[in-house]
A and B are shown apart, each in its own frame.
Chain A
Amino acid sequence: MQNVIRGKAFVFGTNISTDQIYPGQYLDLTDPDKVAEHAMQGADPSFVKEVKPGDIIVAAANFGCGSSREHAAVTLKTVGVGAILADSFGRIFYRNAINLGIPLVVCPGIADMVKQGDTVKIDLTTGDVTNDTTGKGATAQPLSPYVMEILASGGIKPMIKEQYGQ
């Protein structure tokens, strides 16, 4: 796992639901590459054309609220989102994304500190967040040791496979 992640920011507002991250009409898709075609479609239809692997999502409060659909995490993982920083996260989305190995960082005030296209850097071990475009900094809430272990394993599936695989 990379402990320092640096990428271009895509900025979103408050209460971005999993319906906006991945609209319900595509829930019957199961192939991750197909699921990836609709990333953030309900919030910003241009996102999927512009996002590059390693880019970072920055959002205000309650990012990923609503439905439990893991598609929302799968679509962002598959387009290569490097990390997501938000004031807070919907709790099921939080679990889903961490389980897939996407670093999710709670950083109150982050949405006010970053503009679309800024370059943002996050150090997962220290919690230091820097907007490299403006030079402003912030401190994120530390990730729990268990979450760090999941991320270090590349997601929860390899961990469970090693421990319980039949």
Chain B
Amino acid sequence: MHAIEKILAKAAGKTTVTTGEIVNCKVDLAGINDLYLQTVRSFFEMGGKKVYDPSKIVMFLDHYAPASTIMQADNQKQFREFCWDQGIDLLMDVDQGVCHQILADKGLVRPGMVLVVTDSHTTTHGAFGAFGTGVGATDCAIIMMTGQLWFRVPEIIRINLEGKLPKGVFAKDVILKVIGMLGADYGVYRGVEFTGPVLKELNISERMALCNMTTEMGAKTAYIQPDEITLAFLKDKVKQDYEIFTTDPGYKYAAEHTFDVSGLKPQVAAPHSVDNVFDVTEYAGKPVNQAFLGTCTGGRVEDIAVAARILKGKHINPRTRFIVVPASKGVFLEAMAKGYIQTLVEAGATFVTPGCAACLGTHQGMLANGETCITASSRNFPGRMGHNKAEIFVASPASVAAAALKGKIVNPADYLE
């Protein structure tokens, strides 16, 4: 069996599972985001009164942090009251940041767990050897009532990363290349495991970006076998016991792909789909109205650090806005302590509250008709960050910062001396 299958088998109280089987799994932690008041509504519609186990529920007020309309404020109010009524202590209010970063920062994610959040990017937690998957509001309400949810045991694809990353090339470029080659629907219903020597060059932040973006190929979950890098990150953070599962030798993957990253250039997903991927140099010179750095994909300390490195002592182009959103309070504090925030504010960055911000086109950096944005977030669907006719280019944090500096798309390697 694959490690993912072993996680599901244990959670289902079984010794083995097979691909395609429907299993009912106990969920170790279920997260709900503030966009989805429907979760609470579905809970009551299904006759729920008390949640199954309040210690296994976490509420994130992250997508509307802080509320910018009365309706958003009212939804968040109802979430807070639900938590207080139900004894849910893990209420992550509007000061805390994006759900996936909070889970990592606070040691709530651990290897071998089943983690379900009402957010599609829950695949991020494959970086820790967890089974992380996104579901909708009603599915999460079912977990609140019963402590469990059904899953189909997925086929698993192996993506083996060989070679050495060139200067200016990051995990984000690697995963964009992979999505460009395989397609936005290649991973639908399937799990994606990353293997290979490149992983040893990737810290947890980069691994989270890699797993996070598997959602953009439709994946159900992602996985990286925990190693010394994982364990060093988890040490002092995770209080609960955990089990690390390993894949049996001879496990047969549904498909295997090897990518050599040695000759890779920085990548960009051009409008309007994440698999519309090119070398960033193909779009060199394209003017950008907004550069956006942040979110669960590209708003970690390392991402802010590379931007500070590119912009230290310089100023962004006067025709470009540079919106920066630390992924969490923890990220914000660490970046502040390291001086990156000062550097970026002096360089002309506009900081907004840790959270999802403009990534989902609701507030804090919306795009107007005809504007172009380069973003370290995950998606460039029509209308994703504002007007339907805005153009969004998805790229690495370094590419975003370099574009902010020059006011146009450039090769970030040229600015990383």
Contact = CB atoms under 8 A, between A and B. Distances in A.
**Chain B associates with chain A:** yes
A30 interface: yes
Given A61-B185, A65-B184, A66-B379, A27 B35 contact: yes
Given A68-B134, A99-B139, A27 B63 contact: yes
A126 interface: no
Contacts of A62: 184-185, 188, 218
Interface stretch (A4-12, A15-23, A49-57, A112-120): A15-23
B128 interface: no
Interface string A63-78: 0011111110110000
B18 interface: no
B120 A68 contact: yes
B120 A19 contact: no
Contacts of B142: 156, 160
B360 A74 contact: no
B37 interface: yes
Contacts of B71: 28-29
A92 B75 contact: no
B245 interface: no
B361 interface: yes
A42 interface: yes
B45 interface: yes
A19 B384 contact: yes
Contacts of A23: 361, 383
Interface in A24-47: 24-25, 27-30, 42-43
Nearest to A97: B136
B381 A17 contact: yes
A96 interface: yes
Interface string B48-62: 111000000000000
Given A15-B273, A88-B185, A42 B360 contact: no
Query: Which of B64, B138, B150, B184 has the most chain A CB atoms inside 10 A of its CB?
Result: B138
Query: Which of B37, B139, B381, B384 has the most chain A CB atoms inside 10 A of its CB?
Result: B381
Contacts of A20: 381-383
A146 B150 contact: yes
B263 interface: no
Contact of B381 (A19, A61, A73, A100): A19
Nearest to A60: B185
A144 to B, nearest CB: 7
Contacts of B35: 27-28, 69
Given A30-B38, A95-B139, A68 B119 contact: yes
Nearest to B75: A28
A10 B167 CA distance: 48
Interface residues of B, number: 50
B360 A24 contact: yes
A107 to B, nearest CB: 15
Contacts of B37: 30
Contacts of A144: 22, 152
Interface in B118-145: 118-120, 134-139, 142, 145
A160 B146 contact: yes
Interface in B338-368: 360-362
Given A20-B382, A165-B46, A68 B22 contact: no
Given A19-B384, A25-B361, A42-B388, A70 B36 contact: yes
Given A23-B361, A157-B46, A15 B136 contact: no
B295 to A, nearest CB: 13
B47 A89 contact: no
Nearest to B356: A24
Contacts of B45: 157, 161
B72 interface: yes
Interface in B1-55: 22, 35-38, 41-42, 45-50
B207 interface: no
Nearest to B360: A24
A25 B381 CA distance: 14
Interface of B: 22, 35-38, 41-42, 45-50, 63-64, 69, 71-72, 75, 118-120, 134-139, 142, 145-146, 150, 152, 184-185, 188-189, 218, 220, 273, 275, 360-362, 379, 381-384, 388
Q: What are the 5 closest A-B residue pairs judged by CB atoms, nearest first?
A: A165-B47, A96-B136, A62-B185, A24-B361, A70-B136
Given A25-B361, A74-B38, A95-B139, 6 more contacts: A17-B384, A69-B36, A70-B137, A90-B218, A96-B139, A166-B49
9 contacts: A19-B360, A19-B382, A23-B361, A24-B362, A68-B118, A73-B136, A96-B139, A164-B145, A165-B46
